[in-house]
Structure 1
Amino acid sequence: MSVRLKFTLSYVGFLMIAGALLLAAVWAFLLRGRSNGLHVPDLSDFRRAFDPSNFGPTVFVPAAILVLGFLLVFGLVGGWILAGRMLVPLTRITDATRMAARGSLSHRIELEGRKDEFRELADAFDGMLARLEAHVAEQQRFAANASHELRTPLAIMQTMLDVARNDPSRQGNEFDERLRVVNARAIDLTEALLLLSRTDRRSFAREDVDLSLIAEEATETLLPLAEKHGVVIETIGDITPTIGSHALLLQLTTNLVHNAIVHNLPENGTVEVRTTVGSQAAVLTVENTGEQLSPHVVSTFTEPFQRGTERVRSDHVGAGLGLAIAESITQAHEGTLSLTPRADGGLRVTVRLPATARLAA
């Protein structure tokens, strides 16, 4: 039984009781002065009920005040008790909301009873609290990892600067080059964190874009890196329209292609970048050859700072944020990103983005 129906039946019941009491009081006044027992009043009784002589202050007014006062008290007390019983679930929801506002996200309402509007609201609120708790925990882990990753290159830089300052006979070129590499890593990491924060806030303009052109632009930019690693890139796809930020989608594609290049076979590796029009979606797929990967290891690749210990390491492994940024950009565009290990070794990354009106048609 829904809350709305419960309220309706409750107040109808009270109205029926109040009406019965009122009719009983009127009946008593209508029958006042008759010598016989109870009977159905006729027209003369109604006329007598409105006779001014029957409404004297010493006859009708005290009785009317008494009856109305009783009805008022009865209605207030009964309505207060019924409303309180009906609104107990809402009180629990309010208490849980206050606890969440104070930072306690582990509390759950867990409202029992039949499924009604309050039960649905409580279940939805519990689900929201669970997602918020998981998100906050993830952000805390992210902040801790980010602090650790930022602290390491900065500490190394400080140590190298101290050594360089205390060693007048040093060879400046060697130290300068090492400082440049460490500093570049810190800058890249900071920019990646800022980009990740931007996509989480979803503060970007959306426009019609073509994924196939973005894929071509990304592969052309990374072609020198692919040649250096001995990796062949193949781009396949027709016009694949979607809607979003051109800069962010380019960053997403670049991250995926870069990841496919640096985590590939030592030689004779391949990368395939394919854009297709799926069912109500624009699909970007990046496949690369490489070592055999287990599904468990692949499931961790989108976590920040996870580089994959079983993957081929190189001097271009980055900060471990490439796939995390790609997933964040995908979610900001209301899409999905999935990672699948290839049977022959390597990785397949599939990005599904919402279709534009033209693609849906």
Structure 2
Amino acid sequence: MAERARRRPALGVRARLTLTYASLTVLTGLAMLAAVYVFMRYVPTYAIEASVGATGTAEFQRAPASPLPAPSGSARPFQPTETVPALSLQIASADDVLNTLLLFSALALVLIGALGAWISWVAAGRMLRPLRRIHETAVLAGAGRLDQRVRLRGPDDEFAQLAASFDTMLDRLSGSLHAHQRFAANASHELRTPLATTKAMLDVARADPGGQDVAALTERLLETNQRSIETVDALLDLAEIGQSPLDPGPVDLAGPVREALAEVGPEAAEAKVRIESAAGTALVAGEAVLLRRMATNLLLNAVRHNRPGGRVELSCGPAEAGGAVLTVVNTGPVVPPEKLALLAEPFFRAGGRASAPGGRGHGLGLALVQSIVAAHGGSLRLAGRPEGGLAVTVALPPEPGPGSGGPRPG
């Protein structure tokens, strides 16, 4: 701000454009005037004859159409000679022609310059009108009103493209701000709930120390504390992913997927959810540890948000354009379409905070998956199934070219 305050006041863009266009017009006129003057001075051969009267001014003789009758006593008709002064614009020599040309050309040049400046001022104002609108929207957005948009109408020119890009940026900023606000509210709730539960159990124990089962109370306190630790660890993992650059290498995605299946298998059996898998070789560029975490979170989300006796279908294989595609489909409850875009937000649950059976999960599974996929340059697509459940598709880029080393162990 201090550097900006020290700057000298400058002409606005409209004034500079006006001066530029007017100067070009005047310079073009001067060039044409010089060319005409040089031509008129050196090319033509002037043959100008003039009669000079006694007063030194140019005069000319004008004869009547027919002679007048002779006066009485005269033998021949009367033929008067009329002397008429020259007009105000008198041309008596080649120098007069050139001076007159120069004078009127200069006057015309001044008029053209003034007219050109006025037209330039009006045209520049119309051209810069979209920029003023973008500036006004930017000022409002800077004041916190992220709901403002330019919405510029007209031809698809550079200004329209700039306005569209600016509106897209505001859409993303607004969505990011709302997502952070929801994240702050949900994270506060998730972290406060175990603390409040712990406080309630301790208050009850303090009010009636002798009537408490110390072993059961201790176990519940340990479970609640462990849940808080897991939530904080998940938040730290979410914040850490993408902050440091990855060291990707060729990885067979089938390896991390098989490890994730082995890890999630016991919980799926306990929830009476059948997992059907088809994992084929699919080489991608990535880090095996993060890819295993991604597959594990996808399977845990599909198992925990399912129904007893339901199933989970997993398929992994190469993509047509290179890379790999991992798809996880479950038979859980119906997901409303308006909630699909929010499922990958931290702590969001389509069925509410207690939707997962047994209170398992922290609402960070798909958020971690999205961060891992984005860090690998892939894409995540969520689609609700009409009969219930969710279909999650992850597309990852292909492996690096030759010379990058062999596949990492999954």
Normalised-by-shorter TM-score class:
0.7 to 0.9
1:108 aligned residue (136, 140, 149): 149
* Maintained 8 Å contact 2:346/2:363: yes
* Alpha-carbon distance between aligned partners in 2 of 1:86 and 1:176, rounded to the nearest angstrom: 74
Of Structure 1 and Structure 2, which has the larger fraction of its residues in helix?
1
Residue 249 (structure 2) pairs with residue 228 (structure 1): no
Secondary structure in 2 matching 1:87: helix
* Closer, same or farther: CA 22–137 of 1 in aligned 2, 3 Å: farther
Moved more, 134-143 or 10-19: 10-19
* Alpha-carbon distance between aligned partners in 1 of 2:125 and 2:399, rounded to the nearest angstrom: 50
Q: Identity of counterpart residues, as a percentage?
A: 38
Residue 28 (structure 2) pairs with residue 16 (structure 1): yes
Larger Rg: 2
Name the structure 1 match of 2:69. Answer: none
Unaligned runs of 5+ in 1: 1-5, 38-47, 50-58
* Alpha-carbon distance between aligned partners in 2 of 1:108 and 1:215, rounded to the nearest angstrom: 44
- Match of 2:376, as an amino acid? H
* Alpha-carbon distance between aligned partners in 1 of 2:128 and 2:38, rounded to the nearest angstrom: 35
Name the structure 1 match of 2:12. Answer: none
* Maintained 8 Å contact 1:229/1:261: yes
* Alpha-carbon distance between aligned partners in 2 of 1:100 and 1:331, rounded to the nearest angstrom: 28
State the shift of 1:272 in Å: 3.3
State the shift of 1:202 in Å: 5.0
Secondary structure in 1 matching 2:261: helix
* Alpha-carbon distance between aligned partners in 2 of 1:75 and 1:154, rounded to the nearest angstrom: 77
State the shift of 1:178 in Å: 1.5
* Maintained 8 Å contact 2:302/2:312: yes
CA RMSD of aligned residues (A): 4.1
Name the structure 2 match of 1:203. Answer: 244
1:189 aligned residue (215, 225, 231): 231
Name the structure 2 match of 1:334. Answer: 377
* Closer, same or farther: CA 235–93 of 1 in aligned 2, 3 Å: same
After TM superposition, the structure 1 = structure 2 runs for residues 172-187 of structure 1, keeping only pairs within 5 Å, are 172-187=214-229
Secondary structure in 1 matching 2:172: helix
State the shift of 1:316 in Å: 5.1
Task: For residues 317-349 of structure 1, give each alpha carbon's deviation from its aligned partner in whole angstroms, at most 9, with x where no partner exists.
Answer: 312222233233323433232334557654432
* TM-score, length basis structure 1: 0.72
* Alpha-carbon distance between aligned partners in 2 of 1:294 and 1:263, rounded to the nearest angstrom: 11
* Maintained 8 Å contact 1:339/1:347: yes
State the shift of 1:205 in Å: 0.8
State the shift of 1:292 in Å: 5.2
Residue 351 (structure 2) pairs with residue 309 (structure 1): yes
* Alpha-carbon distance between aligned partners in 2 of 1:203 and 1:308, rounded to the nearest angstrom: 31
* Alpha-carbon distance between aligned partners in 2 of 1:204 and 1:241, rounded to the nearest angstrom: 20
Name the structure 2 match of 1:323. Answer: 366
* Closer, same or farther: CA 18–160 of 1 in aligned 2, 3 Å: farther
* Closer, same or farther: CA 74–330 of 1 in aligned 2, 3 Å: same
* Closer, same or farther: CA 88–262 of 1 in aligned 2, 3 Å: closer
* Maintained 8 Å contact 1:242/1:354: yes
Secondary structure in 1 matching 2:147: coil
Residue 151 (structure 2) pairs with residue 128 (structure 1): no
Residue 299 (structure 2) pairs with residue 257 (structure 1): yes
- Match of 1:279, as an amino acid? E
* Maintained 8 Å contact 2:277/2:313: yes
Unaligned runs of 5+ in 2: 1-16, 50-93, 403-410
